[in-house]
Amino acid sequence: MARLAGSEPAAVIIEVLKADGTMARRDDLFELADRLDLPFITIAQISAYLATPVM
């Protein structure tokens, strides 16, 4: 992601937890992003973008 943004490569790891302390899953994260009006992208979308030829 950093390289795609033109920044230096970096690493970050996070775990989003639900109110009950369990790890949030994909559907939970979609709901959170929608509620907070945040963009949500998947690894599949990033892969598709990288596979698209540049014209």
Name the percent of the chain in helix, strand, coil, to the closest 5: 35, 5, 60
Question: For 1-55, how does the pLDDT look when each residue is reduced to its tens digit (9 = 90+)?
Answer: 788 888 998 888 999 999 999 999 999 999 999 999 999 999 899 999 989 988 7
Q: What is the pLDDT of residue 12?
A: 84
For residue 35, the cross-strand partners are none
Amino acid at site 44:
A
Q: What is the pLDDT of residue 54?
A: 81
Q: What is the pLDDT of residue 29?
A: 95
Name the DSSP class of 47.
Answer: H
- Looking at the whole model, is its pTM more than 0.85? no
Q: What is the pLDDT of residue 3?
A: 83
Taking CA atoms, 11 is separated from 22, 34, 54, in Å, by: 23, 25, 26
3-state secondary structure at position 23: strand
